[in-house]
Structure 1
């Protein structure tokens, strides 16, 4: 009895130690990036959150969360604190619950937020940052329940699914990648058919939820999806050699659309950053003309897009393949910053610009390495998906935890084949985070399986 009591106190002491490590990591992240690295998107959302006049170009749910954090008083700082708190809470859950089964290898989880491709993530006040940490916390809640209780409790299931749904509301392109996470979060006591039915129900309900939220919030419709259509029509016009945009266009404009706006070389396309060239790049006249003729945001543009796809599906597939190729090879908008220009313009200067510059110098050494190549993480996601499928037969832990996380990462990357419009590295954050955590979980579970076999 006394031995059991001492063991319990020992476990408790280690939990406190892991809690202290997580708290220190959180404080370090907050102090390093305070008050949060802003961009023009951040300034836009911050203004909407303060004014109460929202649009759906940025997620209304993200703006709603921002509005709850007193942005008029704290600016971006409260969102930075939220990002860091959720991230390090997830790391604590993962590390502490795995320590009980795997010992000191659990400390590896504390290195994840300091991985070069992720160290800036919580510091950026972007919806993609909040989405990534919310989904990581959802996985951590499931992982902790499985490791501590041996099963997914009802409370853990409800909390995890709610967090997954919240992540999709923050980033709608997570709609498909959420499916493996929802399936994982459902109690294993349910038979596969019931779990599959519930996953389908959540999948079908999500668009209704984000549409309803936008209407409740009175968010102005800005037709963000038409940025994808604008890009596709531009790329297809270049491939077919004729202007596929609806409306009235002068011969010089049509010539530019077919011969100048869409580069044939992937490296040259990377500099245009996808749809940016049609919105505010050298071919910004395209969006200006579509808006001027009241076509952007209307069914006319959608019909032209559908007609173009049906008339020449090969051109559409070629356009999307060109986009994904460029996205995989691009190194645009790497998350390495040495100063906060948007912060200065918005009146929220960085607290420690010298430390930020030092961090940029240190992380910049990896700029040309595979770490900052989206192609690397796409390949890693594919490899992990294949490995977890193979190892699922050997380990129930890999089947229950590693497999869904790996496939969520892979599906997330694949969604940019039909839906991508820009080449920013931030779009890879979830894939990097999920892949690293998945690899650690898989290694831990394999160690556990080998221990069982050796007994």
Structure 2
């Protein structure tokens, strides 16, 4: 007997479901109107897109055609193409908004098979702060989240059963089944491709991507055994693809972004152990500052251009030129092995800041003078910022809350992972939990934007989880 997950394994009663749209009545129309309204509102509020330091850096690299790996060279190459058609930030804003609202609309349409109300609620959740409030800020973390959003949306849509077969003289049963099988395969291949694109935009997403790849391939039911067997081979394949695309296809310059993590960890170990582990011959005053003044659990920039400790990277990168060499990796390894508790204390301090503490949220500063605001010239954005300022002290703007909800949703849906909605919740919430948790070991800054995918994942999974309870 064929598996029900294969295109040709459609039971007789499902043939009565052939070509009608997902959901009946006005639900599809309402979903379309809400998504279109959300897209329009996004452009109204954020036009032409809020540029950040990272965005300006990537756009300049895109226009110069010189790629490095400090930011994703794939993003720079993509923006280079967009900029030729739509110069400036607006093109990327339109792309991000399109991915976001299309993804929510597709998930809503898929859920109307269980409940029209759930389908409509699913797309309305796209307006939830802080998900919507980050949408027009041009960070790759937001684009990455939108790419994965569309990926999982395509996967759950591919689980739709056939319905309302046309009259025999219009289409044969075999023709309908064949077309359905081709359509499902195309949707799942597109979903896998988008998951891979997400990794190319955010390399540390590699740890979570195998979960979504397994889901995209088998979205009707999720096998934990299958997922476990796929995890390591998929991870290795993605790592190899990163090297090929970054350095083979795009010829990106190696700028050693992982060494920023090493410097941050070395500074933290120095602070918590009382033993200066940063390589170099430091003066007595510099050693004192390294032990007492330099460490900031929020981000590594204190050693880069922050005061009073910019001398650290000045020496490592320019004077002694050991940044980007094995000297840094060797010093990191030796420091962790010598002072493991100090390293854990540093990582715990960073994780506490990232997950619990108030963190940086919206970018509203002028790129050339951070003491001034640089807001899009419209009242809608100013009104959104005013709402943001009221909500920022609440749990909505704490990364740890969204991580916890992801874990709870994935655990609650495990019993229903043999259903499309249950598999969706386990895979999406689980991938978001793994992705956010990876920053506890790999993070060098504690901004909320790094947890944005978990916010979107929760909004997608809440109505899907309710759908599993209505089974």
- State TM-score, norm by structure 1: 0.88
Distance 1:104 1:236, change over 3 A: same
Whole-angstrom CA distance in 2 between matches of 1:178 and 1:342: 33
Number of residue pairs matched by the alignment: 431
Cα deviation for residue 194 of structure 1 reads 6.0
Q: Deviations over 1:374-428 (max 9, x none)?
A: 1211221222232223x437x6345422111121121112101110110111011
Q: Look up the match of 1:28.
A: 41
> 3-state DSSP class of the match of 2:158?
helix
Q: Unaligned 5+ residue runs, structure 2?
A: 1-16, 164-180
Aligned-pair CA distance for 1:362: 1.7
- Equivalent residues of 1:117, 1:372 under 8 A apart: yes
- Match for residue 423 of structure 1? 446
More helix by share: 1
CA contact (8 A) 1:247 1:295 kept: no
1:118 match: 131
Cross-structure match for 1:383 = 408
Map of 1:452 onto structure 2: none
Is 1:311 paired with 2:343?
no
User: Aligned match of 1:363 in 385, 388, 392?
Assistant: 388
Residue in structure 1 matched with residue 233 of structure 2 by the alignment: 201
**Any conservation in 1 of the 2:410–2:426 contact (CA below 8 Å)?**
yes
- Correspondence 1:408 to 2:431: yes
| Counterpart position of 1:266 | none
Provide the residue aligned with 2:310 in structure 1: 284
CA distance in 1 between counterparts of 2:196 and 2:23 reads 37
Residue 232 of structure 1 aligns to a residue in which SS?
A: helix
Cα deviation for residue 73 of structure 1 reads 5.0
Pairing 1:170-319 to 2, within 5 Å after superposition: 170-187=201-218, 196-215=228-247, 216-262=249-295, 269=297, 273-282=298-307, 283-291=309-317, 292-319=319-346
Q: Is 2:34–2:124's contact at 8 Å kept on the other side of the alignment?
A: no
Structure 2 residue 106 is the aligned partner of structure 1 residue 93: yes
Match in the other structure for 1:66 = 79
Partner of 1:46: 59
- Deviation at 1:112? 2.2
- Deviation, 1:179, is 2.0
Distance in 1 separating the partners of 2:420 and 2:22: 27
318, 323, 327: which is aligned to 2:350? 323
2:22/2:110 contact within 8 Å kept = no
Deviation digits for residues 292-341 of structure 1, max 9, x if unmatched? 21111110010010011112222222221121112122322112x5x562
What is aligned with 2:3?
none
CA deviation string 1:125-165 (max 9, x = no partner): 11101100110111101111113459993222211111101
> Helix, strand or coil for the counterpart of 2:251?
coil
**TM-aligned CA distance change 1:62 to 1:343, over 3 Å:** farther
Structure 1 residues not aligned, in runs of 5+? 264-268, 450-455
Relative distance call for 1:63 and 1:373 in structure 2 (3 A) is: same
Q: TM-score, normalised by structure 2?
A: 0.85
Distance 1:192 1:129, change over 3 A: closer
